[in-house]
């Protein structure tokens, strides 16, 4: 397809005339902001829908010339996260699928919500035990994201696969690197959970306890990771034969996160725990 140059003459007018109610502003590397009524990708161009008076049309920009697109945050990110926290991965997957698809063409442009949505999709897939699909998507995120924190979160998606192949040292290496570098609470909470998983899989009970407990101690508000951490810590305590603490972790889980998928497992484990 032939690249079309942007119609520069129109731009000053457009900036003033376009409504910003549902705007998806293009911010060019020159600092110029273009208000659009919607954008689409056409090869290496980003096409913006614009209105001038009563008529509408499209202007195209080289993706490389765009600094950022100001997409509004998709509300489904929050609803999907909530569904995941409630242990409903299938519903979460259905919720987030279209968002991932919509933002996929813009994933190389700052401001796209693709990586965040795709990360949620990874969690949903993992929640449905679709590990291979989850890993593949995690790897795709890692290869494509620009934001280092999102890249770190994507790195963590590799851990499950590494644990399955018993590559524990690599899994721990990944988690430790994220723990060292990240400043985002949700990423850190996930990293400690994954590290706990890696240690638990090696039956290194006490180190697993210490890893999991980082979440309730320092990231108690990261409710998405709390159920994982509590269940993991209960299992690690069990391994240490510390039934009191194991029972406490499971009880906390069922009381504070009753709608999580882990709460159901916790209930069953509580019932089967020796008195």
Partner 1 sequence: MSRLVRRARFFCITIVLGAVIASAQNANPDLATAYQEAMAAFQSGQYAQAATALEALVARVAVSPQVEPIFYTIGSAYFNAGDYVKAIAAFKNYRIKFPQGPHATRAAFAIAQSNLLSENFKEAATQMAAFEKDPQLRDEALLFEAEAFQSAGNIDQAMAALEKAVGEEIQNAGVMRAAMELAQLYAKKGDGAQALHVLEKIHRKIALADDVIELNTLSVELGDKFFNSQQFKEALTCYRFVYSREEVIKLESDRIDGLQQKVEANLAETRAHPSKITQLAASNAQLQEDMTHAKERLNDFAKRPSLTPAIYLRLGRCFFELDRKWEAVVVDLEILDRFKEGPEREPALFGLIVALADVNQPQRASVRCEQYLRDFAEDSNAETVGYLSGAIALQAGDTKKAENLFDRILSNQPKSKFREQIRYLLGNTSFMAGDYDEAVARYQDYLKEFPRGSSAEEVKYRITLAALFAGNYADAMSQLQAYITKNPRSNFLPDAKYRLAVCQYAASLYDDVIAACQAWEKEFPGNPQLGEVLALLGDADAASSRESAAIPIYIRSYQTATTEEVLNYSLFAANKLLQKQGRWDKIADLFTGFIKDKPDSPTVISAIYWVGKARAHEGRIDEARQLTAGTIRKYIDDPNRDSVEQLITQLAQLCVKKTKPAAESHRTSAAQNSVAPEAELDRLLSSAAPILSPTAKARLLFAKAELARLRRQPVDDGKYLAQIAREVKPGDLSPLLLGEVADYLLSQQKPEQAAEFYQRLLDAYPKSSMVDYAYHGLGEIAFRKKEYQKALRYFRDGLEKITATQKLKDLSVGSAKTLLALGRLDEAQKSFEQVASVREWRGEATAYSVYSLGQIAAQRGRWAEANAYFQRVYVGYQKFLPWVAKAYIGSGESFEKLGQKQEATNTYRELLRNEKLSQFSEANEARMRLEILDQGS
Give the interface with partner 1 as residue ranges (CB under 8 A). Answer: 166, 183, 203, 206, 209-210, 213-214, 216-218, 220, 235, 238-239, 241-242, 245, 268-269, 272-275
Residue 5 or residue 274: which is nearer to partner 1 going by CB? Answer: 274
Instruction: Decide: 88 and 48 in contact? Cβ < 8 Å.
Output: no
Residue 7 or residue 202: which is nearer to partner 1 going by CB? Answer: 202
Alpha-carbon gap, residue 157 to 178, rounded angstroms: 12
Q: Where are the alpha helices (DSSP H) in the chain?
A: 11-17, 76-85, 89-103, 114-127, 131-144, 148-156, 159-164, 168-181, 185-201, 205-218, 226-239, 243-256, 261-271
Residue 44 or residue 220: which is nearer to partner 1 going by CB? Answer: 220
Residue 63 or residue 177: which is nearer to partner 1 going by CB? Answer: 177
Q: How far is the CB of 59 from partner 1 (least distance, A)?
A: 29
Instruction: Decide: 147 and 108 in contact? Cβ < 8 Å.
Output: no
Residue 38's region, left for phi above 0, alpha for psi from -120 to 50, else beta, is: left
Residue 36 or residue 249: which is nearer to partner 1 going by CB? Answer: 249
Tokens 């997409």 belong to 71
**Both tokens assigned to 239:** 């391994």
Measured CA distances, 155 to 16, 161, 178 (Å):
43, 11, 8
Nearest to residue 153, comparing CAs of 95, 194, 125? 194
Q: How far is the CB of 94 from partner 1 (least distance, A)?
A: 28
Instruction: Decide: 202 and 168 in contact? Cβ < 8 Å.
Output: yes
Residue 22 or residue 272: which is nearer to partner 1 going by CB? Answer: 272
């Amino acid at each position: 397809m032939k690249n079309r140059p942007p119609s520069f003459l129109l731009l000053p007018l457009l900036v003033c005339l376009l409504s910003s109610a549902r705007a998806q502003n293009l911010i060019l590397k020159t600092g110029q902001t273009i208000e659009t009524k919607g954008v689409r990708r056409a090869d290496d161009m980003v096409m913006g829908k614009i209105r001038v008076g009563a008529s509408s049309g499209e202007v195209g920009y080289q993706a490389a010339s765009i600094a950022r697109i100001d997409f509004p945050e998709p509300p489904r990110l929050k609803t999907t996260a909530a569904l995941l926290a409630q242990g409903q991965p299938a519903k979460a997957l259905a919720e987030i699928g279209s968002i991932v698809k919509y933002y996929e063409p813009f994933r190389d442009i700052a401001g796209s919500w693709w990586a965040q949505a795709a990360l949620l999709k990874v969690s949903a897939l993992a929640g449905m035990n679709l590990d291979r699909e989850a890993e593949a998507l995690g790897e795709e995120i890692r290869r494509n994201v620009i934001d280092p924190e999102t890249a770190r979160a994507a790195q963590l998606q590799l851990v499950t696969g590494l644990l399955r192949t018993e590559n524990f040292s690599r899994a721990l290496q990944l988690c430790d690197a994220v723990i060292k570098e990240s400043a985002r609470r949700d990423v850190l909470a996930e990293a400690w959970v994954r590290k706990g998983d890696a240690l638990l899989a090696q039956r290194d009970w006490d180190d697993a306890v210490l890893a999991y407990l980082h979440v309730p101690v320092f990231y108690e508000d990261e409710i998405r990771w709390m159920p994982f951490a509590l269940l993991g810590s209960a299992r690690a305590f069990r391994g240490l034969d510390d039934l009191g603490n194991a029972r406490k972790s499971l009880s906390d889980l069922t009381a504070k996160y009753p709608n999580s998928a882990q709460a159901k497992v916790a209930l069953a484990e509580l019932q089967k725990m020796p008195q």
